[in-house]
């Protein structure tokens, strides 16, 4: 099972919306995943517990120093199509 975290500035609104979109994509693609949502700061503190971090492309720089984790940036946080594309590009199954 993949462990994915959706991260945003405060860990409230947009990360929750992204979490719901990721859940939808995972269900559609048959990906077994546990998805959480939280703030950028929290994600940086617990990233070792996850396989993938998903955030806005504008926030990618916050994760540049992390090792051994895949970080995916989205242009449009609410686009299930973009999430699917990123999963395919990154061979997430």
Per-residue model confidence (pLDDT) at position 79: 96
- pLDDT for 17-32, tens place per residue? 999 999 999 999 999 9
Establish whether 26 is a catalytic residue.
Answer: no
**Among 5, 7, 8, 52, the one annotated catalytic:** 8
Is the pLDDT score of 15 beyond 90? yes
User: Which long-range contacts link 77-86 to residues 24+ away (Cβ below 8 Å)?
Assistant: 77/14, 77/17, 77/18, 77/21, 78/17, 78/18, 78/21, 79/21, 80/21, 80/24, 80/25, 80/28, 83/21, 83/22, 83/25, 83/54, 84/25, 84/28, 84/29, 86/54
* Residue spans per domain, the chain: 2-90
- pLDDT for 40-79, tens place per residue? 999 999 999 999 999 999 999 999 999 999 999 999 999 9
CATH of domain 2-90: 3.40.50.2300
């Amino acid at each position: 099972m993949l462990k994915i975290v959706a991260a945003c500035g405060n860990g409230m609104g947009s990360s929750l919306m992204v979490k719901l979109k990721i859940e939808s994509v995972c269900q559609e693609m048959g990906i077994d995943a546990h998805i959480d949502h939280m703030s950028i700061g929290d994600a940086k503190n617990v990233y070792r517990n996850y396989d993938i971090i998903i955030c806005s492309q504008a926030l990618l720089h916050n994760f540049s120093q992390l090792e051994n984790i895949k970080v995916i940036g989205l242009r449009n946080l609410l686009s299930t199509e973009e999430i699917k594309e990123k999963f395919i590009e990154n061979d997430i199954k």
